[in-house]
């Protein structure tokens, strides 16, 4: 490949499981771009040096995943509003001579619901299960879209209270014992925990307690239909799986590095679903 080719990456530790190279590789081929996107495993102790040499090594930027998101936040020169609100960086790019850090998880979450459940933001109070990094991105997205009543439920109440204090008005913190009551008038239930990956044990939210108009979404995408989504579907509720969040969060970075805003298509989704099936 010519040295003028545009280069981007995803880095994490480990990173071999990442679907990002398939997503960006699909778009590079679709739009006929002379570029590359590769997975690079970088241990935490080497991450700062890796970031420092990005421009020298010809990279236009890249994605950052676990465990480097907070380290990336500290290392960049400038941050977008989403990164500041979430407290983590998952996308790097050069602009105006500076290394910028952004967070596209909130964008991905909202765009996924826009595609599969139009009008979701006006559906009523939101209950968010979990108080980790993914929860921060979801709460930021909900606030950005004008959801005025956001209820965080977490096994450790103190962590939910930290997020309530971080985001302020309209956000409340609750222990799991309050979940049933909180669901009674909720229009959106979001699972941001990993609990649903292997069964419903530990998930305190029963979709049967939700009103008929409620939407249930899970940011987990392995398995594609989590037990929570299966239970919500059996209840007759609208469900949205987590794969679209992964696909849509990739869009802003690709546009910054390669100059074209890519489309999340049915073909791309089918390709990643097939890959998930192969890996499972």
Is 69 annotated in the active site? yes
pLDDT at 61: 98
Please state at what angle helix 105-116 crosses helix 133-144, rounded to 10 degrees: 60
Output DSSP code: residue 107: H
pLDDT at 201: 55
Query: How many other CB atoms sit within 10 Å of the CB of residue 57?
Result: 9
Q: How far apart are CA 158 and CA 51, in angstroms?
A: 34
- Per residue of the chain (280 residues), give pLDDT as tens: 445 789 999 999 999 999 999 999 999 999 999 999 999 999 999 999 999 999 999 999 999 999 999 999 999 999 999 999 999 999 999 999 999 999 999 999 999 999 999 999 999 899 999 999 899 999 999 999 999 999 999 999 999 999 999 999 999 999 999 999 999 999 999 999 986 555 555 567 999 999 999 999 999 998 999 999 999 999 999 999 999 999 999 999 999 999 999 999 999 999 999 999 866 5
SS3 42: coil
Which member of 22, 69, 238, 261 is catalytic? Answer: 69
Q: How far apart are CA 174 and CA 212, in angstroms?
A: 23
Output DSSP code: residue 174: E
**Are the beta carbons of 230 and 205 closer than 8 angstroms?**
no
pLDDT at 277: 85
pLDDT at 86: 94
pLDDT at 203: 64
Output DSSP code: residue 94: E
pLDDT at 78: 98
């Amino acid at each position: 490949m010519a040295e003028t080719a545009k280069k981007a990456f995803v880095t994490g530790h480990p990173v071999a499981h990442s679907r990002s190279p398939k997503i960006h590789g699909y778009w590079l081929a679709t739009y006929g771009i002379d570029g590359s996107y590769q997975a690079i495993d970088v241990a935490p102790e080497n991450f700062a040096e890796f970031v420092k040499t990005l421009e020298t090594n010809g990279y236009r930027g890249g994605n950052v995943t676990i465990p480097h998101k907070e380290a990336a936040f500290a290392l960049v020169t400038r941050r977008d509003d989403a990164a500041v609100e979430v407290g983590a960086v998952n996308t790097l790019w050069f602009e105006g001579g500076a290394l910028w850090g952004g967070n596209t998880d909130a964008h991905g979450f909202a765009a996924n619901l826009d595609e599969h459940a139009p009008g979701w933001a006006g559906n009523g109070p939101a209950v968010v299960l979990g108080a980790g990094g993914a929860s921060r991105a979801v709460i930021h997205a909900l606030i950005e879209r004008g959801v005025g009543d956001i209820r965080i439920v977490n096994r450790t109440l103190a962590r939910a209270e930290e997020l309530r204090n971080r985001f302020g008005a309209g956000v409340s913190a609750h222990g799991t014992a309050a979940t049933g009551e909180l669901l009674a008038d909720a229009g959106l239930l979001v699972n941001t925990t990993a609990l649903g990956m292997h069964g419903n044990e530990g998930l305190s939210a029963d979709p049967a307690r939700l009103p008929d108009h409620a939407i249930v979404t899970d940011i987990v995408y392995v398995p594609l239909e989590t037990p929570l989504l299966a239970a919500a579907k059996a209840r007759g509720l609208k469900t949205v799986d987590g794969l679209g969040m992964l696909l849509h969060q990739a869009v802003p970075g690709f546009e910054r590095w390669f100059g074209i805003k890519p489309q999340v298509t049915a073909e791309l989704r089918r390709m990643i679903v097939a890959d998930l099936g192969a890996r499972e």
